[in-house]
Chain A
Amino acid sequence: MSVENGIGASVRRKEDQRFITGNGHYLDDMNRAGQAYGYFLRSPYAFAKIKNIDLSAAKSAPGVVDIFTGADMVADGIGGLICGWGITSKDGSPHKAPPHNSMAVDAVRHVGDQVAFVIAETLEQAKNAAELIEVGYEVLTPVTNIAKALAPGAPQIHEEAPGNLCYDWELGDKAAVDAAFANAAHVSKIDLVNNRLSPNPMEPRAALGEYDAGSGELTLHTTSQNPHVARLIMSAFLGIAPENKLRVVAPDVGGGFGSKIFVYAEETTTIWAARKINRPVKWTADRSEAFLTDAHGRDHVTHAELATDNDGKILAFRVSTKANMGAYLSTFASAVPTYLYGTLLSGQYKIPSIYCEVQAGFTNTTPVDAYRGAGRPEATYVVERMMDTAAKDLKMDPTEFRLKNFIQPDAYPYETPVIMTYDSGDYPLAMNLAKEMIDYNGFAARKAQSEANGKLRGIGVAAYIEACGIAPSAAVGSLGAGVGLWESAEVRFNPTGSVTVFTGSHSHGQGHETTFAQIIADKLGVPIDSVEVVHGDTSKVPFGMGTYGSRSLAVGGSAIVKAVDKIVEKSKKIAAHLMEASVEDIEHEHGVFSVAGTDKKLTMGEIAFAAYVPHNYPADLEPGMAENAFYDPLNFTFPAGTHIAEVEIDPATGVVDIVDWAAADDFGNVINPMIVEGQVHGGVAQGIGQALLEGVIYDEESGQLLTGSYMDYCMPRADDLPNFRVATTNTPCPSNPLGVKGCGEAGAIAGPAALMNAIVNAIGKDIDMPATPEKVWRAINSN
């Protein structure tokens, strides 16, 4: 029996109705009576000491309510922003996490660093008053490039981090790797730059803080992917208010891609200031502020070497990376180039030994943290560019080289040399499917045709793997995470049979209101329109860890299933009572409870009604029908697959035309194929953006951000992108009850490597991202 709008159906999204009619409630759409407007005065310098701040003229400007500086927050006992993941260096020392005040106290360390918060009756008045603030700066020489920041003699950004080093971390067996290299028939080498990106969700960050002087409660409405985590950090570490007096609400959020995970200075200052002035305060970033202050992504410089034998078998892999953390350590920044990166360097391959070392350091740039994929795109880029280089050195077809070294479908569970246990997969299946989709074998003929037209043609493969569904708590805790990474849910029946699902996951475009409702429709037979999914409000939903790392369905969805299981268990007891049968004889399918071997049955709706109107009811059973569950998985999930890009390049202009794209992804079971395909499209688009168009650029001398607007930072437009061929293979995930793996990041992980391999294949030379026409043209015309 299948269920309408159940698991596996491409149900049209429930949330779309409000978005397509202009009835969404994004943060800046909210207003409160008596609200004042906040505006941040920001540092115009990349690195400077603050000698004095004179607020006198600004404070008497028209409409000004108050102006605060970092010193005011410190005096009020407000702590600094924290990094929630501790990394230990090779020498056993903990990573360096220098103080990070919400507003600068004695120095500014990147352009855009917060200096003062001006609150006025109107935004324009706040901006005008900010111009009257006199700040005495002693300008210092900045450093923005990570290799230069870690070199001897570089400007010292924090006294707590000598040499600007945050940590020097390693993973794997160095001696085994060195031995393998010493005896290898071939060694292939590659140097790579993983370009810095700005996440750019279309909705800029914003905050609306409210204080209720009667109850002493603070409410922060904010653009967050994880409101409970924001509340926890603001309460426990910053001292904004006790958790029970602090409510954090994330309404409709217009995209995140990681950048709205973090606890930032602006939101923190806004909620603190609301209490100080006892009025609602609203702050909305403009796009320039988003470029200056939303955590950036990537920014790695890497050298990698692969040892192979004469048969093309991989013997060992070693990787050395320098990672730019920016001016301060953001909320989860330390984990990205370590446990979300080094642990994925085995890719889809059987590699006997791997050694990875990562030096992370500070620079006078915007902090860097998780951006879609977070560490795994960087790992995939290293692994997959390396594989192509090695295949070329060995004169093998890149897909044959990969197929020869893949972990085989019967090898699970497979333990890698970098502490991951892959649980399931079929890598040859996905690769062969992608090859078929793009007609890989017909490439030579297409290339000849392009050449006849004076064009260069290339094909590039990326066989990626990611560790998703970020959890389990015990594992991440042992690796330094300061939090548990389970998820929560409550499934609550109303007496009339409709259902409200409360989830600790947060949707900012992923379609949870639909996908989660499908789970309820499928398992409990409730029509999808009778299911409401509530998320994003700490006063409504149980404590939840939020959405990132493609975890919502694998962890949050599984928590819903666990709550559903409890509903079913209780319902069976009620059904048995009402139908005068024993509980053991009650069978359940999609919300229909029947007595085995009879035609007696009751629906879920009838049972829920009986639970709320328990006139005829089991004596030992609590009334009501609502169950909650917390789910902590036993392992990560491991989505994997192959993406293949085909490009045609005009050697006269260096313009890269993406002529085809095939994605074959193993996401385990799929609840809503339409939404999954959309996630792949969007991920690939961001991957293409990284490879072809995007890159955050700082002027190395002044430390100024040169790519601070959409005039300067090239966002992918409709005419930059191709259509995508998307297909899924399915090896169900054994570690969660839905058998799902996560799909949100795959495209951004596979995309850059596939596209860059295609471009390198076309032009026959190595080139770094973004492969702009100028860069490609220069590479083609270089010797």
Chain B
Amino acid sequence: MTTVSMTVNGKKVSADVAPNTLLVQFIRDNLRLTGTHVGCDTSQCGACTVHVNGDSVKSCTMLAAQAEGADVTTIEGLAKNGELHPMQAAFKENHGLQCGFCTPGMIMSAVDLVKRNPNPSEETIRTELEGNICRCTGYHNIVKSVKAAAENMGG
């Protein structure tokens, strides 16, 4: 076992875990933050995307131990003081989700996308979201949501 400590959604957390524990397992199983989902076993689907030190990361591609000391944000930490993040609000407003399973990862990726591309074109959004699979929406309304959020985020 190894002790890992990090800040998750602004709260300091620490736990003894097996050295091969993935960050996503730490988040889901140790912290019981189940908004971060697992949709595949080859790091393709992006349902487990979180932010590590501000950058989007597929949390199944990283050991918990690699996040030692890091500042991690999951979907549960995105809304502030009960107020939805503009990306969350845009997904709701534009019907950017159906079953909702890919949604947390999609939103976390999209927040990072807009951070790096404040005024993204449709093409940029589609290319950037290549690592997040949605089976329900056909992406049409996801693209629309990200565009709308980018405008509201001051892009």
Contact = CB atoms under 8 A, between A and B. Distances in A.
Nearest to A257: B135
Given A202-B133, A682-B137, A24 B100 contact: yes
Contacts of B35: 21-24
Interface stretch (A12-20, A142-150, A733-741): A12-20
Contact of A710 (B36, B42, B97, B123): B42
A137 interface: no
A91 interface: no
Contact of B137 (A23, A681, A717): A681
Contact of B92 (A17, A25, A685, A686): A17
A75 interface: no
Interface string A237-270: 0000000000000001111010000000000000
A728 B79 CA distance: 36
Contacts of A719: 123, 126-127, 129-130
B97 A681 contact: no
Given A710-B45, A719-B126, A719-B130, A19 B40 contact: no
A718 B141 contact: no
Contacts of A19: 97, 100, 103-104
A675 interface: yes
Contacts, number: 176
A203 B126 contact: no
A709 interface: yes
Interface stretch (A81-89, A334-342, A506-514): A506-514
Contacts of B1: none
Contacts of A18: 100
Contacts of A29: 28, 34
A287 B41 contact: yes
Nearest to A688: B138
B36 A22 contact: yes
B99 to A, nearest CB: 3
Given A13-B92, A252-B100, A719-B130, A681 B135 contact: no
A201 B135 contact: yes
A203 B101 contact: yes
Contact of B98 (A26, A124, A678): A678
Given A12-B93, A203-B99, A252-B100, A682 B136 contact: yes
B95 A200 contact: no
Interface in B80-127: 84, 88, 91-93, 95, 97-104, 107, 122-123, 125-127
A489 B80 CA distance: 38
A723 interface: yes
A711 interface: yes
B64 interface: no
Given A23-B35, A203-B37, A254 B76 contact: no
B98 A511 contact: yes
B47 to A, nearest CB: 6
B72 interface: no
A716 B142 CA distance: 14
Contacts of A387: none
Given A510-B98, A718-B130, A723 B140 contact: yes
Interface of B: 18, 28, 33-42, 44-45, 47, 74-76, 78-79, 84, 88, 91-93, 95, 97-104, 107, 122-123, 125-127, 129-130, 132-143
Most buried by B among A23, A25, A709, A719: A719
Given A19-B103, A719-B130, A710 B92 contact: no
A721 interface: yes
Nearest to A286: B41
Contacts of A717: 126, 129-130, 133, 139
B95 A202 contact: no
Given A203-B101, A709-B41, A710-B42, A13 B95 contact: yes
Given A718-B126, A718-B130, A255 B98 contact: yes
A715 interface: yes
Contacts of B101: 24, 26, 201-203, 254-255
Contacts of B135: 200-202, 255, 257, 682, 686, 715
B145 to A, nearest CB: 10
Interface string A703-747: 000000111000111110101100000000000000000000001
Given A26-B37, A288-B41, A719-B126, A685 B98 contact: no
Contact of B47 (A202, A678, A718, A723): A202
A419 to B, nearest CB: 33
A542 interface: no
A682 B138 contact: yes
Nearest to A10: B95
Chain A interface size range? 35 or more
Nearest to A287: B40
B100 A509 contact: yes
A681 B92 contact: no
**Shortest Cβ-Cβ A-B pairs, 9 listed:** A22-B35, A254-B101, A19-B100, A685-B138, A509-B99, A710-B44, A22-B75, A29-B34, A681-B138
A29 B99 CA distance: 15
Given A21-B84, A511-B98, A682-B138, 9 more contacts: A12-B92, A13-B92, A20-B92, A24-B100, A287-B39, A682-B135, A715-B133, A716-B138, A717-B129
Contacts of A13: 92, 95
A715 B40 CA distance: 12
B88 A20 contact: yes
A254 B103 CA distance: 10
B141 A508 contact: no
A626 B34 CA distance: 36
A204 interface: yes
A287 B48 CA distance: 14
A681 B91 contact: no
Contacts of A723: 122, 140, 143
The winner among A12, A24, A511, A675 for most chain B CB atoms within 10 A is A24
B133 A255 contact: no
B138 to A, nearest CB: 3
Contacts of B136: 202, 255, 509, 678, 682
A200 B126 CA distance: 21
Contacts of B75: 20-22
Given A254-B99, A718-B125, A16 B92 contact: yes
A766 interface: no
Nearest to B128: A718
A718 B143 contact: yes
A28 interface: yes
A340 B63 CA distance: 48
A513 to B, nearest CB: 11
A114 B84 CA distance: 44
A17 B84 CA distance: 9
A23 B127 CA distance: 28
Nearest to B101: A254
